[in-house]
Amino acid sequence: MTNECIVSVRGLSHRYSTAWAIRDINFEISQKGVLGLLGSNGAGKSTTMNIMCGVLNQTEGEVYIGGLNMRRQPEEAKKKIGFLPQSAPLHLDLTVDEYLTHCAYIRLMEKKNIPTALAEAKDRCGIAHFSKRLIKNLSGGYRQRVGIAQAIIHKPGLVVLDEPTNGLDPNQITEVRALIKEIAEERSVIFSSHILSEIQATCKDIKMIENGRMVFADTIDAFNNYIVPHSLIVSFENPPALAALQAIEGITKAALQYGNTFRLHFSGVKHITERIVETSVANGWRLTEINLERSSLDEVFAQLSGKSTN
C-alpha cells in the first residue's frame, strides 16, 4: 500500500461474541468518485464502515486511511474521514450553525478556519438559509443534508455515508443523490445501501458484501451484466406452435407470455437472433418484435448473494 491510496482495507474481520459479522474483507480506493457498498440488511456493511471510521475496533485485519493505520493512529486517520452513520448524530435542539460549529470543534479544526468551513459546507449542502433554525424543525431531507454537512465540514479526503437516503421521499432521494455526486467530484465517497436502484443511480464502482464476505468487486456495468443474458421476448403476427420455436437450434425453452408474444430461453449460441429471424421468414410467422432480456439487478443480487431460486 502507498500513501497515495485513500483507503486500504486488509484482511478485515470482526466477531460479535462467537459469530463473525465480517470475514476477510479486502479492498482499496485510490481515486475520487462514488463507490457503492451493497448488501442486504445484516450483511456486514455497517460493521465494515464503523471499523473503517474508527467507531469499532476490529478483531482482525488493518485499515489504512491515507497511509495512516486507523488502529495505531486513530486521531490523525479520523481527520481524513467524514462519516454519516445510518442514524444521523444530530442534536435536534441546536440550530444548524450551532451544531455544525460543534462538529468542527470535534474534528479539531483551528478556530480561525471554522467560519469559512461552516459557510462552505452549508452552501454545498443547500442549507445556508436554515442557519438559525433548530434542527428539530427541519424536514427529513434537510436533516439529512445537515448530516452530510457535518461529514464534509473539515474537508476530508474520504466521506462515508451509511444508507443516507433511508426514510426520504422520492424528491428528497433525488436531491441527496445529486448532492452525493457533487461531493464526489472533489473526494472519495463510500455510499452504502441495500437498495439496488440507489447504488445503480449513484455509483460507478461496487463492492458487495453478503454474509460477512466480499462477493463482488467491479464496476456497475459489470454488475449489470454479471449474468449473461439468456432470454428473448419475441412477437409474431402468425405465431407458431411452441414446439416449432423450441425446434430452433439454440432455443432451450419457449413459453407463451400473452397474445402472440413469447419468451425464448437460449443456451448462449451466437447469432441466435439471426436464426429466429431467418426461421420466421422461412415459415411466414411475420416476426414483429425481438428484444434481448437482461437479468434484472434483483436477479444479479440474488445470484451473487447465493439466494437465487433458479
Q: pLDDT for 219-247, tens place per residue?
A: 888 887 665 567 889 999 999 999 999 99
Which fold, 231-294?
A: Alpha-Beta Plaits (3.30.70)
CA distance 195 to 136: 27
Q: Do 162 and 192 contact (CB within 8 A), yes or no? A: yes
User: In terms of C-beta density within 10 A (0-12 exposed, 13-18 middle, 19 or more buried), how is residue 270 classed?
Assistant: exposed
Mean pLDDT confidence for 78-88 = 92
Cell numbers standing for residue 303: 445470484
- Residues ≥6 apart with Cβ < 8 Å to 172: 139, 140, 141, 144, 165
Count of other CB atoms within 10 angstroms of residue 196:
17
Residue 299 has pLDDT above 70, yes or no: no
Is the pLDDT at 9 greater than 60? The verdict is yes
Q: Is 74 within 8 Å of 52 (Cβ atoms)?
A: no
User: Is 0.85 surpassed by the pTM of this model?
Assistant: no
| Residue 200's pLDDT band (cuts 50, 70, 90) | confident
Q: Is the pLDDT of residue 23 over 50?
A: yes
Q: Average the pLDDT over 3-19 and give the result.
A: 89
Stretch 173-192: mean pLDDT:
92
Model pLDDT, residue 112? 96
How much of the chain, in percent, has pLDDT values that exceed 90?
A: 67
For CATH 3.30.70, list the domain ranges present in the chain. 231-294
The pLDDT score that the predictor gives to residue 2 is 44
Task: Determine the pLDDT at residue 1.
Answer: 41
Q: Where are the beta strands (DSSP E) in the chain?
A: 7-16, 19-29, 33-38, 60-65, 68-69, 81-84, 158-162, 188-193, 205-210, 213-219, 231-236, 251-258, 261-266, 287-293
pLDDT at 50 over 60: yes
Q: What is the C-alpha to C-alpha distance for residues 165 and 176, in angstroms, rounded to an integer? A: 7
Residue 27 has pLDDT above 90, yes or no: yes
Angle between helices 96-106 and 140-152 (to 10 degrees): 30
CATH number of the domain at 1-80+157-172+180-226, please?
3.40.50.300
pLDDT at residue 28 is higher than 80: yes
Least confidently predicted of 29-43, 75-89, 283-297: 283-297
Q: Is the dihedral of CA 56, 59, 65, 70 positive or negative?
A: positive
Ranges 56-65, 205-214, 290-299: which has the least confidence? 290-299
Q: How far apart are CA 178 and CA 158, in angstroms?
A: 17
Amino acid at 61: G
Other beta carbons less than 10 A from residue 137's beta carbon: 11
Stretch(es) of the chain classified as CATH 3.40.50.300: 1-80+157-172+180-226
Name the more confident of 41 and 99. Answer: 99
Q: In this predicted structure, which of 8-12, 76-80, 288-292 has the lowest mean pLDDT?
A: 288-292
